[in-house]
Amino acid sequence: MGGEGPGDGSSPIQIVEADLRLPEHQEAVLAMVDAYSRDAMGEAKPLDPDVRARLIPGLQKHPTTLIFLALDGNRPEWEIGSRLNSESLCPPLSMAGKLWAG
């Protein structure tokens, strides 16, 4: 069993509700939104630093925020998220900047 553990396929993927008080969940959300931003479905460029700085505080303040993370051990499983993203499920990223401009 040596060498088995998170990230090697031996542990099941867990779906958890993101706790935006936890720095590791904050980073996972930021990395996921940045990956979306860099994709053609986003704006095909990195997440704007100003949006990045306001995103977590804005999500924390919003009363209906509900985010799920797919974790392999404690490691976010990005491939699952990228398979779920589509234009029908995710609004254009430019809308995120407008949501947190408040």
pTM: 0.65
The whole-angstrom separation of Cα 64 and Cα 54 is 17
Range of the domain at 52: 14-99
Mean pLDDT of the chain: 74
Whether 5 maps to a domain, the answer reads: no
* Within a domain: 50: yes
Summarize pLDDT for 28-57 with one digit per residue, the tens.
999 989 988 998 888 899 999 999 999 999
Does any domain span residue 75?
yes
Residue 8's pLDDT is what? Answer: 52
Question: Which two structure tokens, joined as six digits, stand for 83?
Answer: 């398979």
Total count of domains within the chain = 1
pLDDT at 90 over 80: no
CB count within 10 Å of CB 101 equals 10
CA–CA separation, 67 and 81 (whole Å): 12
On whether residue 57 sits in a domain, the answer given is yes
Closest CA to 68 of 30, 33, 29, 37: 29
For the stretch 53-62, pLDDT in tens is 999 999 999 9
